[in-house]
Structure 1
């Protein structure tokens, strides 16, 4: 029997294998695929993302089934697939999941939506640079660097075209083993994690801000969870 498949689903920044630098070594134990979500390319102009299209990409990558590890907005499509086709998803690891449609009525998520929804409603009338500046100021209370390289300009354009995560059709959570990993820095993501923990998920916190999987602690938690899931599947 061959190695079990693990599909890695990136968030809004880097994509493919570049989004998971600490997890490359898992290829020694698993059949790892680092996908690109819809609209992400190193050469082509960005297009609007779509949760449904991302879900299809994850399903195609899983083939006959396997484990899914997803970050931020990538967690939306991963969870949608686990709800719709649980037979494909043996375990689900959600890193700082932006599954805000589940917690839209809770305080931190409601405040985030109230802050960001007006900006996203105006985004099609804004330049990529103006949207990037407004987005970073609202989310991080900082000023971004002006994009000057081709990659940076594509990143800015892609950010403006992201689908609002709170509009995703998520109303229930999957009945598959789930690890939620957060960085402990932002109440918004802790609120989502606590909600999922209340439905049976395991919630763990590791340092690292929005990318706890880049730290030794976060990486170790992901590896332990995947290996435990592999052993359970083989039992």
Structure 2
């Protein structure tokens, strides 16, 4: 039986299948691929992020799978939503649906109040990131990004005596290009769901912008990771299943 492909694109923290614990079971019904963005590896040292390479990784995963089929659904979290949107703009024929979870698509809303305030707080830090140690950047990033609501649902600064993986995580964070520099455009004609946690005005502002351009917006518990809640997982699965049914009905 043919299974529709679903591509999962992680954010700035955990990567691959580890970034999607609630969605592992979707592999029973779908051809599920849990991607690793450029610079994310369990062994190799982190490197500078690259929007273009990340986009190519998504498109490669959507290419012909050897069974004469191409395309699929794309589910992306936080900074991973940048590459997901860029892939959908470049090849809308391959993206059957787009699910953006707490999307860090700040270049779309840079002039809106919550985003502008966030940029004013974060840009000075990114301006000097090449001169900071990895752990110093991470600690200051967490302090600025989560000052109003606490860091419980975002990256945490390493404790004393960080492990090798914690050191790599801090370096990856410092090497991430600011998401507000991404060359984003609205994706025409692709069914889109935006899932937010309802905790941070920045992400609700981005979701509102995307809703005005035709996206469906849903809120579920879980802070910056609503996909980890039962309700968020249900919303994601229901949306993909509904789009799949509509596509099947149109093809019949």
String of CA shifts for 1:43-89, please: whole Å, max 9, x gaps. Answer: 01000011110000000011110000000000000001111110010
Paired residues, what number?
Answer: 235
Tell me, yes or no, if the aligned pair for 2:194 and 2:218 is still in contact at 8 Å: yes
Partner residue in 2 for 1:117: 123
Tell me, what secondary structure is at the counterpart of 1:48?
Answer: coil
Partner residue in 2 for 1:198: 212
Distance 1:3 1:234 in 2: 12
Spell out the pairing of 1:66-81 with structure 2 (5 A cutoff): 66-81=72-87
Please list every run of at least 4 consecutive aligned residues from structure 1 whose deviation after the TM superposition is greater than 6 angstroms: none
Partner residue in 1 for 2:157: 144
Structure 2 unpaired stretches of 5+: 64-69, 151-155
Spell out the pairing of 1:1-235 with structure 2 (5 A cutoff): 2-63=2-63, 64-141=70-147, 144-146=157-159, 148-235=162-249
Query: How much has 1:140 moved relative to structure 2?
Result: 1.5
Tell me, what secondary structure is at the counterpart of 1:101?
Answer: helix
TM-score, structure 1 normalization: 0.98
Tell me, yes or no, if the aligned pair for 1:101 and 1:171 is still in contact at 8 Å: no
Distance 1:86 1:231 in 2: 19
Distance 1:38 1:133 in 2: 23
Query: How much has 1:32 moved relative to structure 2?
Result: 0.2
* CA RMSD after TM alignment: 1.1
Tell me, yes or no, if the aligned pair for 2:81 and 2:101 is still in contact at 8 Å: yes
String of CA shifts for 1:129-151, please: whole Å, max 9, x gaps. Answer: 11011101101126833361011
Structure 1 unpaired stretches of 5+: none
TM-score, structure 2 normalization: 0.91
